[in-house]
Amino acid sequence: MTEILILGEQANGDLNSLSKELLAAADSISDNISIAFLGNDNRSVAEDAIRYGASKVYLLQSKLLNDWSVDTRVAAYEHLLGKISPSVILLGKTQIGQDIGPRLACRLGVGLSQDSISIALDPKTMRPVATRPVLGGRMIAKVSFAEDGPNIIVIRKGSYDINKPNDNNEGDIQEITFHVEQSDKNIHHIQTILSDPGGVKLENAPVIVAGGRGLGGPEPFEMLSDLAKLLGGSVGASRAACDAGWIDHNYQIGLTGKNVSPALYITVGISGASQHMAGCSGAKFIVAINKDPDANIFKEASLGAVGDWEKILPSFISTVKDLLET
């Protein structure tokens, strides 16, 4: 049976939703699923991972180092991979996952597929085949691996539905302590600065209201933010709006911004350039407001309103308020 190792992540002591998706992705091709976490104080996260389908959990701890820089993370995983031999390693497409994946692939001399949206097994070779959007989302490529594993696949958030947790699942939790030399650590953590302490995190938002150059300035983003709050979501933006300095680049969605997969994506004054759509093609339902009936966004949207956002958006917001009150 193909052994899959997931490099899991946690957020504030909870198994993060992308790791749950990775467990579902692994479950679609194997019953032999292990997951590794950094830190040995993660018992509840480990137990949660078992409920979501892991049969083995590794808790990795170094006595020497407490903060997990990329160097120590890679060292921890390299140490684990000296002890076990999975065929496939799965990571989530987070800042950490995208950083660790290539470093680990280089250290192990194995293949890597970034930004993948699904995995399958080649029935002949039993090696994984990853699917990933390329050319700004215009085409889908299948990535197969020339050598046996452990081949590494980085999966985009929103690609898999999370399995229902099962309290009857059983699994094994192993604590592994390893040693890292201070000299192995090239990056030193100085300070953590939270750029967006309030609101719903863009990557996790079920609803995103994104604004573009058509807004004409920074002020309208307040109206977009009001709508996003009403719907329990977050504001997003096109690169043109970020480049203009109307909103921070942290909110940029697209090829060179964030990938998002909300249930509802509302665009206001965004033309729908392929580089923008590359970041929101996972959205389940797109609603577009744009004054140009020929704008590309209308080819991608499930619903559209042609007209000036200044006329449409206030009545849209007041209708949403009315609907929420009834």
Ligand X SMILES: Cc1cc2nc3c(=O)[nH]c(=O)nc-3n(C[C@H](O)[C@H](O)[C@H](O)COP(=O)(O)OP(=O)(O)OC[C@H]3O[C@@H](n4cnc5c(N)ncnc54)[C@H](O)[C@@H]3O)c2cc1C
Residues that bind ligand X (CB under 6 A): 212-214, 238-241, 252-257, 269-271, 273, 275-276, 279, 289-292, 295, 308-309
Q: How far is the CB of 183 from ligand X (least distance, A)?
A: 38
- Rg of the Cα trace of the chain? 22
Select 70 or 312, whichever has its Cβ closest to ligand X: 312
Q: How far is the CB of 247 from ligand X (least distance, A)?
A: 11
Q: How far is the CB of 257 from ligand X (least distance, A)?
A: 4
Q: How far is the CB of 238 from ligand X (least distance, A)?
A: 3
Q: How far is the CB of 81 from ligand X (least distance, A)?
A: 34
Select 49 or 270, whichever has its Cβ closest to ligand X: 270
Report CA-CA distances (Å) from 122 to 86, 110, 115, 152, 276: 16, 17, 19, 15, 32
Select 16 or 290, whichever has its Cβ closest to ligand X: 290
Select 119 or 273, whichever has its Cβ closest to ligand X: 273
The number of helices, as runs of H, and strands, as runs of E, in the chain is: 9, 17
Distance CA 28, CA 23 (A): 9
What is the edge-to-edge ordering of all strands in the sheet holding 139-144?
118-121, 128-134, 139-144
Decide: helix, strand or coil at residue 157.
Answer: coil
Distance CA 234, CA 177 (A): 40
Select 79 or 213, whichever has its Cβ closest to ligand X: 213
